[in-house]
Amino acid sequence: MADEPLRHELYTHGHAPAVVRQHAQRTAGEAAAFLLPHLRPDMRLIDVGCGPGSITRGLAEHLPAGQVIGLDLSRETLESARRDAAARGLMNLRYEEGSVYELSFPDGSFDVAYAHQVLQHLRERGLALAEMLRVVKPGGVVAVGS
């Protein structure tokens, strides 16, 4: 296992309904306020560890001509996020199950890679950051909030 990238981590807060409900109250306006001034409407952004997708949804609303992908390990949480995005008619937003250690996108696929309160839960932060950097275009932004 030491030579192979980690695929899963133990999320210390867990995905209990109360935790997910609390996380679903977060907004891009508060959690990603430092990033919003740097966004252009046509950017492509990935939100790793997106959880219930409330921040991701706000980012998609700031990028109406762009594309936003929310990535998380929790299939159940993503199903709820997908229902929310569909109900709001956000056509520029999709959610995928996956690991920040193995992003399934080619090099330079995104203008922005964003992570909110993710790195603190990872054993191999450097590997996660390297993977985020890999999928960002030259001159792009890797934004990490805590």
Domain contains 58:
yes
Per this entry, what is the length of the chain?
A: 146
Q: Is residue 89 part of a domain?
A: yes
User: Containing domain of residue 86, as a range?
Assistant: 28-145
Evaluate if residue 56 carries a pLDDT over 80: yes
Tell me which amino acid residue 10 is: L
Q: Which of these, 135, 133, 4, 16, lies nearest to 74 by C-alpha position?
A: 16
In a domain, 53, yes or no: yes
Tokens of 49: 């560890």
Tell me if 2 is assigned to some domain.
Answer: no
DSSP 68: E
DSSP letter assigned to residue 12: T
Whole-number pLDDT of residue 100? 93
- Does the residue 50 lie in any domain? yes
| pTM assigned to the model | 0.83
Structurally, how many domains does the chain consist of?
1
| Domain contains 137 | yes
What share of the chain in percent tops pLDDT 70? Answer: 83
Q: Is 119 part of a structural domain of the chain?
A: yes
Q: What is the pLDDT of residues 61-120, one digit of tens each?
A: 999 999 999 999 888 889 999 999 999 999 999 999 999 999 999 999 999 999 998 888
**49, 115 contact by CB (below 8 A):** yes
Q: Is 71 among the domain residues? A: yes
* 58-61 CB contacts, 8 Å cutoff, 24+ apart: 58/27, 58/28, 58/29, 58/32, 59/28, 59/32, 59/114, 60/85, 60/90, 60/92, 60/93, 61/28, 61/90
User: CA 61 to CA 113: how far, in whole Å?
Assistant: 16
CATH code of the domain in which 120 resides: 3.40.50.150
**Residue 49 scores a pLDDT above 50:** yes
How far is the CA of 36 from the CAs of 46, 68, 77, 87, 101, in angstroms? 14, 14, 24, 24, 25
